Structure 1
Amino acid sequence: MKKTGLVWMLLALMTAQVFGQARRSEQNHGERFEQLGTMLRSPNVYRTASGAPGHMYWQQKANYVIDVELNDDNQSVKGKETITYINNSPDQLTYLWVQLEENQRGPQSEAPLVAESSINSRMTLGTLQGILWENDEYGYKVLNVKDAQGNPLSVAVNKTMMRIDLPKPLKAGESFTFAVDWSFNITDRMSYISGRPGYEFFPEDGNYIYTMAEWFPRMAVYSDFEGWQNKQFLGRGEFALTFGDYEVKITVPADHMVGATGVLQNPEEVLSATELQRWNKAKQTFDNPVIIRTQAEAEKLEKGKSKDKKTWIFKAENVRDFAWTSSRKFIWDAMAVKQGGKDVMAMSYYAKEANPLWEQYSTRVVAHTIKSYSAHTFDYPYPTAISVEASNGMEYPMICFNYGRPDKDGTYSEAVKYGMISVIIHEVGHNFFPMIVNSDERQWTWMDEGLNTFMQFMAEQEWDRNYPSRRGPAHKIVPYMRSDKSMLEPIMTNSENIIQFGPNAYAKPATALNILRETVMGRELFDFAFREYARRWMFKHPTPEDLFRTMEDASAVDLDWFWRGWFYGTEPVDIAIQDVKWFKLDNRTPAQKKADQKAAFDLEESYVSKNYNKADVPQTVVEADPATRDFYNSYNPFTVSPEDEEEYKKFMASLSPKEKELLNSNMNFYEITFENVGGLVMPLIIEFQYADGTSDIEKIPAEIWKLNETQVTKVFPKKKEVVQFILDPMRETADIDESSNYWPRQYQPTRFELYKGRGGARGASTGDNPMKKAQSKKK
């Protein structure tokens, strides 16, 4: 009875204006909080329901011994390799699949056939060449496949895939050794063919930089969840690769400098005495890079071309691929990094065109990346990490190709500087995802690009507090999330089917993970779970299910709603404050209540006609005729009666001390109605700004939407009077319409500017260059 009386005393003193009407769907309780269930692969003995490798987990292995020679006169390579394929699966195999990515650049490539094309009023030569695709000189030219005894093997080449039919079935636990001879012409990756590997020609000095990747026939992955991954390579979807050990001999002109995956085995044979001395010093230097081949030495080598040859030998263990670079133009610097009880060599290779930017930053960024990523996952296990300036951006085990070239006068814009640092962090970071945590990039680009972009964002912020990160913060994904539905696909989409590739495969998953870390789970829970995923799947082949399950298993946070919305859907976040009502507990005495009622009545009855009638109507009927009067003409409803006083005393006497305290607390109760306009459910983060100038923030979990996914109402008790409500004040949910996040509403003008646009090479200055202006003033 006492509680009923207290509820009865809860009366609204002020109600805010209603803004619009609630948008209701036919079914307010849909599927956003249903468990993923059958959308995920069923757990089994190979992959557990917790997201960890099962007790019978297996994966294949392929070991390579390769001899390759670079022809610097006609830009070609020829090589021979011996592959030992070890069948660790429980299955008997009758054939093997080998990847031939170089054929993607050849005449039989499907890439130009499946690419849309059109004719405009102005066409570049490169665009027309891409349409013509006259590439008869590219792709593998020699491809001989033999068994260990030298007998020819039956093969079938299907564009970028080659099937080797085995002489007899390869049983579980057995291995098969075969040899391949091959050659191809190297493509100009600065031309219309483009792509990740190839050469760049420098007409000023007549030299080349070679970035050799996807350069040898490589084993495809045979896995427990897919069998053979033999999807054709069309250029975008990257690689699914098998771990193994490599011994590679690379023969190049004697004046070339070579960098590669793995550890150089014969430095005494290929380095000069001075370079060897500097190299040994670099291995003991931890504070600053040691320049092993200087710019002056490289420039001297540029002026002549040696006819002699040298063979560089590298070994790498437990890697999924092998790449290398070669040029007489290279400057080389290196430094050691303490990591996980061992020393890792951070190194950079770059031409004079990249200085002074690269000498100052590249190797330091490599070292920082190793430290940052290791802190969030596992200790970097490889012995080296190399950054190569190649007007490119691509990753391989222990080596990556990056861009960021200053202008010819040595100046550069901030965009070039930070673009270079970002791409180095990103590509070096790929050593962790997918070089070690070895996901299938051909199927799920986001599992390496998205996770790596998220890690890149953290490393950037650890490099500089004011770092201008492009991807990671929630509000920076808003333009993509606001795109027309016809331009959107779920993150869980094959890379070849994505229209806006960068936002979908890189930015959105990175943003989602950042939101998980900062808003949904919190850093402590997220960091533990993410580290657990990385460590579980080091040197293994994870799938999306393994990530999703591990993140929940290690945190005790149900995230199915999050994966469903962010990774399987395209709905945006657009949550609006639809209405706010203000309530206060009615703790007035009868006299105060009657006075307030009288004031409200007088205000209600104070209208224009009544004021005019005081002059225009000299006497009313009731005033003139006593017979028209009764009890109510003399009754004053605003007078406090003895009964009112007695009822009030009884009510107050019935209250407990705690209830009296609440009644007299002068608390404010704000009933806020939120509308889910966009469809993607998210936590509610509300900032309350008070009349006294202070503020605070409350966070409501996303589960508040469980019973009604389109509209929810929540009451917030506050001791202070609120003058402004702000939803998502720190812009952490990627809300696409922030104008509805304020109550009362706030409207901001949208500004635009006029500019003159100009294009430029990747990584080169295209914007403002204050450094150039400052140097011009000094002259």
Structure 2
Amino acid sequence: MNLKSFFIFFFCPLIAFAQNIQNNPQSNHGNKFEQLGTILPTPNIYRTASGAPGHGYWQNRADYEIAAYLDEDKRNLKGSETVTYYNNSPDDLDYLWLQLDENEQSTVKNAGYQSSSKLPQTINAEHLKDLEIPVKDNGYGVNIEKVTDAAGNPLKYFVNKTMMRIDLPKVLKKGEKLVFKVDWNYNIPNRMTMGGRGGYENFPEDGNDLYTITQWFPRMCVYSDFKGWQNNQFTGRGEFALPFGNYKVSMNVPADHIVAATGVGKNFKEVLSSTQFARWQKAQNSNEPIEIVTLDEAQKAEKTKSTQRKTWIFEAENVRDFAWTSSRKFIWDGMKVVIPENNNPVMAMSLYPKESYHLYRKFSTKAVAHTILTYSEFTIPYPYPVAQSVEAANGMEYPMICFNFGRTEKDGTYSEGIKNGMIGVIIHEVGHNFFPMIINSDERQWSWMDEGLNTFVEYLTEERWDNKFPSRRGPAHTIVDYMKLPKDQLEPIMTNSENINHFGPNAYAKPATGLNILRETIMGRELFDKAFKTYSKRWAFRHPEPADFFRTMNDASAENLDWFWRGWFYGIDPVDISIDKVTVAEPDLNAVPKPQEITYTVDKPQQNDFEDISKIRNREDKNILFYTDNDKQTRDFYWRYNRGLEKVDTNKKYTLTNDIYEKLPEADKVNLKNVRGYQIDFGNKGGMVMPIILEFTFEDGSKVNDKVAAQIWRKDEGKVSLTYFFNKKLKSIQLDPMRETADIDTSNNFWGDAQQPASKFEVFREKQHSSARGAAKGMINPMQAAGKK
């Protein structure tokens, strides 16, 4: 879902999230770089430690045959569905759960999740009716007419708010399927005044409606290995968890309506005019958008309302949902796009009212094509035959169809902001075909796995559309204002959808930014892209969880990224790395090395400072024979020395001259005369560790960059130092010059040489000497002092 059209009014004081367990919370190390460990679920036969599906992975399936009747006069939708549910789980099921999302529009059937409220300065008069006590039924929500088995026998069911449970007459065992039927109806809400994703929009100027029919049928909940039934109530925030299946859907609508839907139209020849059908056939081989239904035809249809009806039929295979739209206002264009990796021909199409013509006709279908091509490059090749954008003053996604905004002024002009916003929302919503329509995460629990991953690839796709495109989410610097907020206003990304205060930054922007930082700054593009593509391929048409993503990115890259997942996804610390101090030093090239004299005494016997209980008991045990008692040849000088049988004066002082350096040759002095050393002390004021990225600018105007991996903080998470030597004078140091790390305070990221006094460091040439491990160091040992060998 795109937050440009559905902004946040939820404000929940209860925060619940996956806990960032610290291994060593009282220490300055041993926390941020430790493995996620027990924070992640234990790998099993369903989900492996590598992040891939296990050999026992399973998921259930639901196929649908649905007949819908759209009553435009009453603004009512009536439906009848036959569901074939396949139990592929190892469990016996004695009841099923279905979602009734339209109940969220009801004043008496909704989930009942209230938020804190205060007196407003302005309010919609319609909303005042919703605040009456006791609550009155507003007439919206799903009316279940009957639930039967395949033979028409009634099945027991009950509705709990936005969920319906069907009790089975007998257990549905592993490998079995169940066929059942549901008849229902509901009044279609005015989504422009009531909000929500589906409903109608009325155009007063011509008296017509535009219908977006979404979450419109009783839909099976997901039953999974990680949660059982995902039957969390629908509040309007956390979106959907749905099984895959095949759909055959017929929609009976007014004869002058144009219908678009998930899947492929099966009877276009019957429902379109011969001229329109000919254009449809031509568009299937065109690389430029062709109008199938023209502006002129749409404007003519607006002026009269047919009393006749037509039935449109669509079919879709291996999708998790089905949505559709219907209106006599639609212009419809389309073109063919071929996905290179799988050679899949796709119809990229757009439907839009005349109010959007001068924007959508220029850009929409081409933006659809660009999106599926670019996403295919970064994830998996687009597998479906259709991708559609519908202008409905909205922003919401479904398989093969999405609803977006983008209307012009009455004279056909538009602002740059409207144009870029439209292109951005089309990319975002079409991109949702990949996340979560194909890579089918649980949106009801983890919004970021849907919105965050999709917003990240949206950013990559926007960048490919136009190098000057004003992307709002993805670049590191754009998340800074959110990261600066007081910590009592923040929660980790790993927080349930319902409990997030700042939904847009948390579920969309922060995860997208984090992935962009991983790609550009931490891993590099090539390595990141390989790992991200691996995740997409592994979990296409499956149900991934967060651990599957984290583990796959680690596994496919040979990078231990747990420190990043821990900090960016499980934590709320911001990035604020500072340059605290720079110490400058000049070489003393004429220094004369002074031999180092060491005064020492010979080593005393290596006796235990305490005779522990094991040694005492071993001596007392007459059954234990020590090796040195049995083999007297092993009783050397030190065996006797340890027992006081060899006498050595351990108080006598000896002197060792340590002469390891010699004066620097003249040639080296010439080469090193301009060298300066710089020790840079850094502080981690924010708490989130990141690579240290530096730009050095020299007095001659030249620059050089260096990047040190985040692991430099592993032994001290609060402060570190780096030392550099340069052969020319340094003018300034800039930390994070490209603002790659989302550092919230850049005022402490700069150092300039203000002619500060330099200390001195001596430079010598080292003499050759042995440094082998265990080699003698030239010091007198007790054997020598005793004159023994």
Q: Same fold (TM over 0.5)?
A: yes
* Shift, 1:112, TM fit: 5.7
How has the CA–CA distance of structure 1 residues 45 and 166 changed in structure 2, closer, same or farther, with 3 Å as cutoff?
Answer: same
Kindly report which structure 2 residues correspond to 1:561-710, keeping only aligned pairs within 5 A, or say none. Answer: 561-588=563-590, 654=662, 660=668, 664=672, 666-710=674-718
Give yes or no for contact 1:221–1:229 (8 Å, CA) kept in 2.
yes
Checking the alignment, whether the CA contact within 8 Å between 2:107 and 2:130 is kept in structure 1 is no
- 1:677 and 1:109 map into 2 onto residues whose CA distance is 49
SS at match of 2:442: coil
Match of 1:45 in 2: 45
Deviates more, 1:240-249 or 1:654-663: 654-663
- Note if contact 1:739-1:745 (Cα within 8 Å) is conserved in structure 2: no
Q: Which residue of 2 aligns with 1:217?
A: 218
Residue 335 of structure 2: aligned partner: 335
Q: Does structure 1 retain, via aligned residues, the 8 Å contact 2:584–2:678?
A: yes
In the TM superposition, 1:405-554 aligns within 5 A as 405-554=407-556
Which residue matches 1:205?
A: 206
| Distance in 1, Cα, partners of 2:87 & 2:335 | 39
Aligned pair partner of 2:748 in 726, 740, 751: 740
Match of 2:723 among 684, 702, 715: 715
Amino acid paired to 2:308: D
State how far apart, in whole Å, the 1-side matches of 2:419 and 2:692 are. 38
Q: Would the alpha carbon gap of residues 670 and 41 (structure 1) be closer, same or farther in structure 2, given more than 3 Å must change?
A: same
1:625 paired residue number: none
2:346 alignment partner AA: V
Provide the C-alpha distance between the structure 1 equivalents of 2:585 and 2:40, rounded to a whole number of angstroms: 47
Contact 1:112 1:131 in 2 (8 A): no
Letter of the structure 2 residue corresponding to residue 150 of structure 1: G
CA 1:62–1:295 in 2, change beyond 3 Å: closer, same or farther?
Answer: same
Contact 2:111 2:233 in 1 (8 A): no
- What is the aligned partner in structure 1 of residue 405 from structure 2? 403
Question: How far apart are residue 716 of structure 1 and its match?
Answer: 1.4
Deviation, structure 1 residue 98: 0.6
Equivalence for 2:631: none
% same residue: 59
Measured against aligned partners, the alpha-carbon deviations of 1:178-228 in whole angstroms (never above 9, x if no partner) come to 00000000000000x210000000010000000000000000000011111
Please give the per-residue CA displacement for 1:267-313, whole angstroms capped at 9, x wherever unaligned: 11101000000000000001x10001111100000000001110000
Tell me which residue corresponds to 1:378.
Answer: 380
Q: Deviations over 1:41-73 (max 9, x none)?
A: 111111110000001110000000000010011
Rounded Cα–Cα distance in structure 2 between residues aligned with 1:232 and 1:359: 39
Q: For residues 121 and 365 of structure 1, do their structure 2 counterparts lie closer, same or farther at Cα, with a shift above 3 Å needed?
A: closer
Q: Is the 8 A contact 1:28 1:708 kept in 2?
A: yes
- 1:726 Cα deviation after fit: 0.4
Partner of 2:143: 141
Partner of 1:631: none
Aligned partner of residue 250 in structure 2, secondary structure: strand
Equivalent residue number for residue 13 of structure 1: none
Q: CA deviation at 1:516?
A: 0.3
Question: Of 721, 725, 739, which aligns to 1:731?
Answer: 739
State the Cα distance separating 1:123 from its structure 2 match: 3.3
Q: Deviations over 1:460-500 (max 9, x none)?
A: 01000100000000000000000121211100011110110
Counterpart CA distance in 2 for 1:504 and 1:314 is: 37
Quick check: which one's helix share is greater?
1
SS in 2 for 1:442: coil
Distance 1:143 1:494, change over 3 A: farther
Secondary structure at 2:285 match in 1? coil
Tell me how far apart the structure 1 counterparts of residues 233 and 224 of structure 2 sit (CA, whole Å): 17
User: Residue 141 of structure 1: CA displacement?
Assistant: 2.0
Cα distance in structure 2, aligned partners of 1:665 and 1:488:
53
Q: Shift of residue 585 of structure 1?
A: 2.1
Flag the 1:183–1:658 CA change in 2: closer, same or farther, 3 A: farther
Residue 720 of structure 1, CA deviation: 2.0
Distance 1:658 1:702 in 2: 40
**1:279 — aligned with what?**
280
Deviation at 1:714, TM superposition (A): 1.0
Query: What is the aligned partner in structure 1 of residue 768 from structure 2?
Result: none
SS of aligned partner of 1:360: helix
When normalised by structure 1's length, the TM-score is 0.83
* 8 A Cα contact 1:586 1:663, kept in partner: no
Is the Cα contact below 8 Å between 1:111 and 1:235 reproduced in 2?
A: no
Q: Which residue of 2 aligns with 1:232?
A: 233
Unpaired segments ≥5 residues, structure 1 = 1-24, 591-649, 747-779
Kindly provide the CA deviation profile for residues 316-373 of structure 1, in whole angstroms up to 9, marking residues without a partner as x.
0000000000000000000000112121000000000012011000000000001000
Letter in 2 for 1:116: S
In structure 2, relative to structure 1, the CA distance for the partners of 1:272 and 1:745 (3 Å cut) is: farther
Contact 1:105 1:135 in 2 (8 A): no
How much does 1:407 deviate?
A: 1.4
Q: Does the residue aligned with 2:65 lie in a helix, a strand or coil?
A: strand
Unaligned runs of 5+ in 2: 1-24, 593-657, 755-789
Deviation of 1:666 (Å): 3.2
Which residue identity is paired with 1:332? W
Q: Is the 8 A contact 1:79 1:182 kept in 2?
A: yes
Instruction: Indicate conservation of the 8 Å contact 1:112/1:130, yes or no.
Output: no
Paired residues of 1:254 and 1:310 also in contact (CA < 8 A): yes
| Secondary structure in structure 1 of the residue aligned to 2:557 | coil
Q: How far 1:400 sits from its partner (Å)?
A: 0.2
- On the 8 A contact 2:590/2:664 being kept in 1, the answer is no
CA 437–659 in structure 1, closer or farther in 2 if over 3 Å, else same: farther
8 Å CA contact 2:111–2:162 kept in 1: the answer is no
Q: Is residue 578–residue 674 contact of structure 1 (8 Å, CA) maintained in 2?
A: yes
| Corresponding letter in the other structure for 1:145 | V
Deviation at 1:651, TM superposition (A): 9.3
- Say whether the 8 Å CA contact 1:222–1:228 is kept in structure 2: yes
TM-score (norm 2): 0.82
Q: Deviations over 1:441-477 (max 9, x none)?
A: 0000000100000000000010001000000000000
Give the RMSD, CA atoms, in angstroms: 1.9
Q: 1:94-148: per-residue Cα shift (whole Å, max 9, x none)?
A: 1111111011111324456512222134434255345347553100123310001
Higher relative contact order (Cα pairs below 8 Å, separated by 6+ residues):
1
> How many angstroms apart in 1 are the aligned matches of 2:158 and 2:742?
49
Distance in 1 separating the partners of 2:84 and 2:226: 23
Q: Which residue of 2 aligns with 1:756?
A: none
**In the superposition, relative to structure 1, how do residues 154 and 112 fare at CA in structure 2: closer, same or farther (>3 Å)?**
closer
Deviation at 1:34, TM superposition (A): 1.1
Local SS of the residue matching 1:355? helix
Q: Could you tell me how far 1:29 is from its partner in structure 2?
A: 1.6
Question: Distance between the aligned counterparts of 1:175 and 1:270, measured in 2?
Answer: 35
Query: What is the total number of aligned residue pairs between the two structures?
Result: 661
Q: 1:710 and 1:377 mapped to 2: Cα distance? A: 37
